[in-house]
Amino acid sequence: MATHHERDRGSQGSEGDQRRSSWGFAVSSTGLDFTEHTIVSAHFEACRGAYAHLLGQVGIQPGWHVLDAGCGNGDFLPWLAELVGPHGSVNAVDLAEENVKAATEGLNQWRQPCPVDIRHGDLLRLPYADASFDAAWCANTVQYLDDDALAAALAELRRVVRPGGVVAVKDLDAHLVTARPGDPYLFADFFRAASAVPGYARQLLRSRDLYRYLKRAGLVNIRQQTVLIEHYAPLTPQAHAFYGPSCATLAGQALSLGLDEQWRAFTEPNSPENPLNHPDGYVSEGNVLAIGTVPERVTRPL
């Protein structure tokens, strides 16, 4: 999910556009890196267990009306629908029209326990009235927003969630991305170099500051946790499908920045020389979950 604010600064695309971003993947219609549906779905499948655990920490209750803000292909929708049950409802919104289409098609392939509505929309201008929801879930989305857009998106999420309701934001923390065997600082050095200018890499390093952004948005009772997601050799097919191409993409970026030649081993995902294919191969990433409550309205005495 990305906003028009972010999309206007990147390359434009259309549904099925196979142009490639500077990070190596075919771009979605948003023109943003790491948003094309195949790589997004591969990431979800690789981290499915951890994602389910984090969603379970939000405290979504049966009967609630919940918004999935930046729903992508709709991977979280079955879980959200199960949590709210037959007396609840789920709404979902995404900027990429092909994501809305994919999520809608997926919706027709499983039996929903509650009403589910999916629509095209912008996270900075959500198409919902004030206080429409008991909770908002925003996963793997704010990494595409610069600081100003992040603040605006959180203001919108606060607006559409009722007083006393919950806003939960989950995103990747690049500080915990690493692979073995190899230099333990290889990935850290890359993200330090790539984040020297504003953009995607810098935003991937911002996740552990999410609690501060929620606080600035006026949310209260804020809590945050960071989890380490680890994959050991032999990597599952799902993990290899995501981390192989992703590390190859980072390797291309790193080599273009003139960084360590050790990156070259990652450029071929299926090569036996790739550390991910080593008998002791390992790859990890971090995920941050930040949760805040919309403050109750204060009634002043007459």
Q: How far apart are CA 44 and CA 40, in angstroms?
A: 6
Residue 71 and residue 93 in contact, taking contact as beta carbons nearer than 8 Å:
yes
Find the mean pLDDT for residues 101-114.
91
Which pLDDT belongs to residue 17?
38
- Strand order through the sheet with 116-120: 116-120, 89-94, 65-69, 133-139, 161-180, 282-293, 220-232
Asked, for residue 208, whether it belongs to a domain, the answer is yes
Segment 189-214, tens digit of pLDDT: 999 999 999 999 999 999 999 999 99
- Indicate if the pLDDT at residue 35 is higher than 80: no
Asked, for residue 72, whether it belongs to a domain, the answer is yes
Which pLDDT belongs to residue 75?
95
Residue 286 and residue 172 in contact, taking contact as beta carbons nearer than 8 Å:
yes
Find the mean pLDDT for residues 181-195.
96
Bond prior to 181 in cis (omega within 30° of 0):
yes
DSSP 3-state of 42: helix
The tokens for 273 are 């020389």
Bond prior to 234 in cis (omega within 30° of 0):
yes
Asked, for residue 179, whether it belongs to a domain, the answer is no
Segment 245-301, tens digit of pLDDT: 999 999 999 999 999 999 999 999 999 999 999 999 999 999 999 999 999 986 565
Domains identified in the chain, total number: 1
Domain with 146 in it: 4-173+197-226+288-293
Asked, for residue 113, whether it belongs to a domain, the answer is yes
Mean pLDDT of the chain: 89
The tokens for 88 are 């609840």
Asked, for residue 157, whether it belongs to a domain, the answer is yes
Segment 109-132, tens digit of pLDDT: 888 899 999 999 999 999 999 999
Asked, for residue 201, whether it belongs to a domain, the answer is yes
Find the mean pLDDT for residues 82-110.
94
Asked, for residue 154, whether it belongs to a domain, the answer is yes
Q: Which of the pair, 10 or 83, is modelled with greater confidence?
A: 83
Cβ neighbour number for residue 130 with a 10 Å cutoff: 9
Q: Which of 124, 130, 135, 136 is nearest to 159 (CA)?
A: 130
Asked, for residue 262, whether it belongs to a domain, the answer is no
Return the CATH number at 36: 3.40.50.150
